[in-house]
Structure 1
Amino acid sequence: MSCEEIRVLAVKFGQDFDLYFADDEGLECDYWKEVFPLQHQIFRNVSNQVLMVRLGPENNVMSVFESMTDQEMIHGCGVHFNIHYYRDNRLEDGMSVAFSVLVENKTYCMYCTHEGGEKTVRFREEVVPKEILENSSDIIFIQKSISPTDTKAFKFESSLMRGYFLAFQKEEDLSKLTLKRCDEDQVDETTHIIIP
Structure 2
Amino acid sequence: MDRRRQSQDEVLLEKPKSYDAVDAFKSNSKDGMNVRISNLSNEQLIVDPQKFAIFESVKDAKAEATFCLHIYAESGHEIDGLPVAISCQISEKKYILEASNSVDDPLNSVNFLEKQLPRVIESKTSGLIFYLQEFSTGDSSFRFESSLHKGFCLAWNSEKKLILKRKQSIDEKEAFRFSENN
- Do these two structures clear the TM 0.5 threshold for a shared fold by scoring above it? yes
- Closer, same or farther: CA 92–106 of 1 in aligned 2, 3 Å: same
Number of paired residues? 157
Gaps of 5+ in 1: 1-23
How far did residue 128 of structure 1 move?
Answer: 1.0
Counterpart AA for 2:125? S
Does residue 167 of structure 1 match 2:138? no
1:38 Cα deviation after fit: 2.9
Q: Secondary structure at the match of 1:43?
A: strand
Partner of 1:109: 96
Matched, 1:41 2:35: yes
| 1:63 maps to 2:41 | no
Q: Which protein is richer in helix relative to its size?
A: 2
Distance in 1 (alpha carbons) for counterparts of 2:87 and 2:142: 17
Structure label with greater radius of gyration: 1
* SS of 2:72 mapped into structure 1: strand
Shift of 1:147: 2.2
Partner of 1:10: none
Could you state the TM-score of these two structures normalised by the residue count of structure 2?
Answer: 0.76
Is the strand fraction higher in 1 or 2? 1
The answer to whether the Cα contact below 8 Å between 1:61 and 1:123 also exists between their aligned partners in 2 is no
1:139 equivalent in alignment to 2:128: yes
The alpha carbon displacement at 1:73 in A equals: 4.1
Structure 2 unaligned segments of length 5 or more: list them: 1-16
* 1:67-106 paired onto structure 2 within 5 Å: 67-69=57-59, 73=63, 79-90=65-76, 91-106=78-93
Report if aligned partners of 2:71, 2:83 keep a CA contact under 8 Å in 1: yes
> Is contact 2:96-2:114 (8 Å) kept?
yes
Q: Percent identity?
A: 30
Q: Which amino acid aligns with 1:182?
A: K
AA in 1 matched with 2:164: L
Please tell me the residue identity of whatever aligns with 2:37: F
In 1: Cα distance, 2:51 partner to 2:114 partner? 9
Q: Which residue of 1 aligns with 2:119?
A: 130
In the superposition, the TM-score normalised over structure 1's length comes to 0.71
| 8 Å Cα contact 2:155/2:174 also seen in 1 | yes
Residue 31 of structure 1 corresponds to: 24
Deviation sequence 1:80-123 (CA, Å, 0-9, x none): 01101000123542111111110121001101125693212111
Q: CA RMSD in A?
A: 2.5
- C-alpha distance in 2, partners of 1:182/1:27? 31
Higher normalized contact order (CA 8 Å, seq sep 6+, divided by chain length):
2
Amino acid in structure 1 at the alignment position of 2:175? H
Matched to 2:88, the amino acid is: V
Q: For residue 45 of structure 1, what is the amino acid of its counterpart?
A: N
- Flag the 1:30–1:144 CA change in 2: closer, same or farther, 3 A: same
